[in-house]
Amino acid sequence: MEKIKMTTPLVEMDGDEMTRILWKLIKDELLLPFIDLKTEYYDLGLEHRNETDDQVTFDSAYATKKYGVAVKCATITPNAARMDEYNLKEMWKSPNGTIRAILDGTVFRAPITVKGIEPCVRNWTKPITIARHAYGDVYKASEMKIPGPGKCELVYTDTDGNETRELIHQFTGAGIIQGQHNLNSSIESFARSCFNYALDTKQDLWFATKDTISKKYDHTFKDIFQEIYDAEYAEKFQAAGIEYFYTLIDDAVARVMKAEGGFIWACKNYDGDVMSDMVSSAFGSLAMMTSVLVSPEGYYEYEAAHGTVQRHYYKHLKGEETSTNSVATIFAWTGALRKRGELDSLPELSAFAEKLEKACLSTIESGKMTKDLALITTLPNPTVLNSGDFIRAVRTTLETLL
């Protein structure tokens, strides 16, 4: 079989620990035999980030702006223990945070649904994608403990020194206080990323806040979404046969529980933090969750939602067998290859991505899976495969599909 051609390189961001081991296996078994793989390689493994004073992370993000599509392996975010383990010069920042700041993007997380791994919520027959706004609100709040009676006000001083004041509370005893903010520019980027991703994946978009109670703060989120939708997206949504739907957050939560899925749920920062963990665990497994960072300019960075699976890596180093699930990392590659195929008009590349995803799902549905899934599957007598054997089983299925 002739290998599938690519024209523009993917930005390849290699990573750490067990996922770095899977990364190479996936390339060797599932990609290189079938595709004339073009990538621009950036080694985001912690050792190389340390050697380059983290410059490699910045370079990989700039390359994503140049080429448009990246695929990323999970990476270690250093903490005190990692400082010693890797003898680091500095406690380098989270690569995902650095890349997100440069691309100004929103992260979309979606479960990979497969027969035999059933969601806790019976009526969720299609995936629910969560988009979390990643700036401001309670995550950048200022707080104070109020020791006793006194007046608390919000004070805005403009650049000419004029003050606008708003009473928060006249305290008669001790209490607590918090000041939150957000930026119109950040909310606008969030809105555009959501609308673009909805068009891209042909799914309805839901958005919810508490605008009835928060008549200025949350209402601004609602208004910005609506203004951008009306001015830039309403016609495109109509043409694509999809819908933008705004409601109150408590109504949204109730509707989500009764829905069948198949939509994107855009959440404010805190709502997204809480709801993404609820939705992902209800769908079954962190190892079956994909994640894509979408910038308002239309740059994409695909990855798995899980981390580097450190505990499995230490077993691997001791020469013990591991059964680590590679599906979300494989889907990061297929997401990136499909997008590259779309942008470069290479239907064969997109079709290959489709088949590779199908091969993963068929392999699991035939009863062959890693241990994490075998523990929760509803299929009878699953066969538990080790990390490498699962990837090779997917290859066997893939070869029958090609």
Full 3-state SS string of 327-363: HHHHHHHHHHHHHHHHHCCCHHHHHHHHHHHHHHHHH
Tell me the C-alpha to C-alpha distance, in Å, between residue 313 and each of 308, 322, 384, 391.
8, 8, 18, 17
Is residue 354 a contact residue for Mg ion (CB under 5 A)?
no
**Number of residues near Mg ion (by CB under 5 A):** 1
Q: Which of 307, 354, 366, 376 binds ligand NAP (CB under 6 A)?
A: 307
Nearer to Mg ion, 134 or 349 (CB): 134
Q: Which of 98, 295, 308, 397 binds ligand NAP (CB under 6 A)?
A: 308
Is residue 89 a contact residue for ligand NAP (CB under 6 A)?
no
**Residue 273 partner contact from ligand NAP, Mg ion, none using kind-dependent CB cut-offs of 5 to 8 Å:** Mg ion
**Residue 306 partner contact from Mg ion, ligand NAP, none using kind-dependent CB cut-offs of 5 to 8 Å:** ligand NAP
Cα–Cα dist 247/269, whole Å? 17
Cα–Cα dist 23/21, whole Å? 5
Nearer to ligand NAP, 74 or 128 (CB): 74
Tell me the C-alpha to C-alpha distance, in Å, between residue 113 and each of 73, 128, 283.
21, 10, 8
Is residue 107 a contact residue for ligand NAP (CB under 6 A)?
no
Residue nearest to ligand NAP (CB): 307
Q: How many CB atoms are closer than 10 A to CB 154?
A: 11
Buried b (16+ CB within 10 A) or exposed e, 4-29: bebeebbbbbbbbbbbbbbbebbbeb
Nearer to ligand NAP, 132 or 306 (CB): 306
Residue ranges in 258-297 that form contacts with Mg ion under rule CB under 5 A: 273
Cite the beta strand spans of 94-203 per DSSP E: 106-111, 128-132, 142-146, 150-157, 163-171, 175-179
Nearer to ligand NAP, 269 or 308 (CB): 308
Q: Which of 10, 13, 26, 74 binds ligand NAP (CB under 6 A)?
A: 74
Taking Cα atoms as reference points, which of 186, 171, 169, 257 lies closest to residue 228? Answer: 186
Is residue 334 a contact residue for ligand NAP (CB under 6 A)?
no
> Per-residue contact track with ligand NAP, 206 to 245, x per CB under 6 A?
----------------------------------------
In the complex, which residues of this chain contact ligand NAP (CB under 6 A)?
74-77, 96, 286-287, 303, 306-311, 324-325, 372
